[in-house]
Amino acid sequence: MKKLLSFCALIILAQSCIPTSIPPRIKNYRVLKGKEIRKLKLDKKKHFFVFENDWRGVDFLDFMADKFGFERNPFIKSFDVDIENEPFTLFVHTRKKTEKSLDLLSPILFEDADADVVEGDTYHYVALSVLDQNGKDCLSEKSLYYETTIKYLRDLKKEYFVY
């Protein structure tokens, strides 16, 4: 009986894949310090306005180029913006992360098979950082511009999703 239970437990364990990489899930948006989102590999000292891009076919950088009226250039990832008549620099970082799991069932069932990494869904993210004209992080809660910057970025995100 004990052997049967052990065998059943092994089969149940082997049928499921063990996740090795799980992308973060972001419902609306989050303001995070770079070190809090290591999986997206961003500057650890800056704060970022991060949202999950549903990847409808329009790249965020294409949207920004259209919004500011210039040709799309893959090397341009910063934009000069005015928020309540103050100049700021908006930096755009796009990242993607894929779910990965280790398949343990194949080597048990098939003699020739090795344990494979199975890729699942891919999630796309947009991370925005904003600096004032003195180079200070406007998404830091200590910034005088924190509230106005958050409002601007929420409105920008909404505009992007209806674009």
Domain ranges of the chain: 17-162
Each residue's pLDDT tens digit, 116-130: 666 777 888 899 999
CB atoms within 10 A of CB 135: 7
Residue 130, phi then psi, degrees to nearest 5: -130, 130
Say which range, 46-50, 69-73, 92-96, has the weakest mean pLDDT: 69-73
Each residue's pLDDT tens digit, 82-135: 999 999 999 998 877 777 776 666 665 555 555 566 677 788 889 999 999 999
**Above 60 in pLDDT, residue 13?**
no
- Lowest-confidence pick of 42-56, 95-109, 140-154: 95-109
Q: Are 38 and 128 within 8 A, CB to CB?
A: no
